[in-house]
Amino acid sequence: MTLVLATMTLAAVSCGPKQENSKVEAQKETTPKMLVLYYSQTSNTKTVAREIATKLGADIEEIVPVELYDGDFQATIERGKKELDEGTFPEIQPLKSDIANYDVIFIGYPVWFGTYAPPVITWLNQVDLSGKKVVPFCTFGSGGLESSIKDLAAAEPKAEILPGYGVRAARLEAMPFEIDQFLKANGFLEGEYTKLEEFPEQHPVSEEEAAIFNAAVGDYPMIHAEAKTVATRALPNGMEHLFTAVDLPREDRPNMPPAGEMQVYVSVIGDDAPVFTRVIR
């Protein structure tokens, strides 16, 4: 009996750690390897990239142009527009990361002229993301997530483009909470998150709702519009309004394009003033 018990104990001791190690190795094999890759000029996108990489424990790398943009807003606009018009995109430094080694790639960028900045175009022209899961994230002045995702899908038709995240540069303080919710909602992190309901059908704006819209966009010079209809849903800590608005003519800019329709998302958190979160034209 003593011999039998000793043998069973030895077997338990010797097999236990091996089984545990096997589970760990199996888990490593099934866990997708993730890379957070980004271009950032003013460090806004860099801040978002670091938040994502920290939460996921993912590798992170920056796309760096050989000839840096000088940081001056007007000079950047002129150079970026020229690059887009001429199709001559900036040379970038070689990446240290081998894209082939990753299953999921988070690609981050500032939105310029409604799409990702030219250094990202250069990178996309150099790689084949076929079979990869790609998660876009961006920073912007008013919007551009949706339009840039369309361009990304066209540039990489054989990649699986997953839902993306975008944030106004003026709202970076809200980003950590939103990133946490975004990653959990899309299965990259475990934990509880608030699943938002779909917006109900829109209705004509009331005077009170029009005041919310005007307060949210009034200080932003690129939006001069009138809200026509709206729908509202609950947020974890407030309310979100989706306005449909129409551009108003501007005496100070007679050469502006004809009036168009836009969708404007406005959040009201607690007792804070209304703030618009993004615009879709």
Residue whose C-alpha is closest to residue 229's, from 215, 246, 217, 216: 246
| pLDDT above 70 (res 27) | no
The pLDDT value given to residue 222: 87
The pLDDT value given to residue 29: 54
Sequence-ordered list of residues with C-beta below 8 angstroms from that of 148, at least 6 positions apart, any chain: 109, 111, 114, 115, 116, 136, 138
Beta strands 133-140 and 104-112 are parallel
| Residue 14 pLDDT grade (very low, low, confident, very high; cuts 50, 70, 90) | very low
Topology classification of domain 31-185 = Rossmann fold (3.40.50)
* Model confidence pLDDT, tens digit, residues 161-211: 999 999 999 999 999 999 999 999 999 999 999 999 999 999 999 999 999
* Model confidence pLDDT, tens digit, residues 80-111: 999 999 999 999 999 999 999 999 999 999 99
Show the 3-state SS of 108-123: EEEEECCEECHHHHHH
* Chain centre to alpha carbon of residue 47: 12
CB 40 within 8 A of CB 108: yes
| pLDDT above 90 (res 1) | no
Determine the angle formed by the axes of helices 44-56 and 175-185, rounding to 10 degrees. Answer: 50
Average pLDDT over residues 228-253: 91
User: In degrees, to the nearest 5, what angle opens at C-alpha 77 toward C-alphas 252 and 227?
Assistant: 45
* Model confidence pLDDT, tens digit, residues 118-142: 999 999 999 999 999 999 999 999 9
Record the pTM: 0.86
Sequence-ordered list of residues with C-beta below 8 angstroms from that of 14, at least 6 positions apart, any chain: none
Tell me which residue has tokens 């003026």: 170
